Amino acid sequence: MSSQYRTGSRGSAKAKVIALVGAGALLLTGCTAEAKRGWLPNVERDTTNHTGAIQDLWVHSWIAVIIIGVMTWGLMLWCVVAYRRRKTDTGYPRQLSYNLPLEIFYTAIPLVLVLVFFSFNNTVEKSINAPVDSEVVVDVRAKQWSWDFNYNYEGQKKYFAGEQAHLNTDGSAGVEETLPTLYLPAGKSVTLELNSRDVIHSFWVPAFLQKLDMIPGKTNYIYLTPQVEGTYAGKCAELCGEYHSEMLFNVKVVNDAEFKAQLAKMEDGHIGEEYDRQPNKVNSVVVEHGHEEGGK
């Protein structure tokens, strides 16, 4: 046996081993917890009462898209191989056009797929956005570059006024305990009233799998029930100015006793829209040209 043949055999065997190891590793990744939740940022499936439905919609959509993609790629490759030009072929192959059944098929299948995806998405979206009579209502007010939280719970009105977070020199979030913290009770329905004091912000808690813009003069709502106690990172997800990256906060989901204890530490009342910017009032002062103050 020549050395060239032996070298080629070794290379072929090595390539087969690498291919098998790669395929095995790819299959094993499907068994990890991250893969099962589609690499979404929630660790627990039921972090809130909505995360499970959102996760299922995400994962099942990707499964459907991958199956459709594999079928489409397979048909494309089959056409490339089956209808390739042979050595015995001369001239151009027979040209086909206006194949009505095929054109209907290519139009109907994508339309059905779009309608199915829309139906599932619409169902989940409606269930998430359905208003509920919540036990806890929190008026969340975003401001450059922090957060204020106004609580309504069992007739109590409490508030927390946040201060801007400061990043460390290496870009990390700094001391976690100094970040504004939104406390929520586990197992109780919550309504978050999202408002902005100045510019457009966006309320985002990645582990909750929900994000919603906060627009000046308009209140948006998130309805959810936190179900797993723990501390979750939150941030503004809309570029809102120079210190946007420092507009961080925490959400702590605690038991009912701890929640009441935290409320007791807060100030009474609310800090509402009186602290918002009011450009309409500021700009409503009109000075006529040619008239000085005092009528002179």
Name the residue with tokens 């004091």.
197
Enumerate residues 6+ apart whose C-beta is below 8 A from 42: 51, 55, 206, 207, 208, 209
Sign of the alpha-carbon dihedral angle for 117, 122, 127, 128: positive
Residue-level pLDDT at 296 = 43
Low-confidence ranges of the chain (pLDDT < 70): 1-31, 169-176, 278-296
Task: Decide if 173 contacts 241 (C-beta within 8 A).
Answer: no
Name the residue with tokens 């401001």.
143
| 3-state SS, residue 52 | helix
Residue-level pLDDT at 280 = 60
Residue-level pLDDT at 87 = 85
Tokens of 15: 């390539």
pTM higher than the cut 0.85: no
Residue-level pLDDT at 40 = 83
Residue-level pLDDT at 34 = 75
Go through 182-192 and write b for each residue having 16 or more CB atoms within 10 A of its CB, e for each that does not.
bbbbbeebbbb
Pairing of strands 201-205, 190-196: unpaired
Tokens of 286: 């009109």
C-alpha–C-alpha distance, residues 147 and 134, integer Å? 22
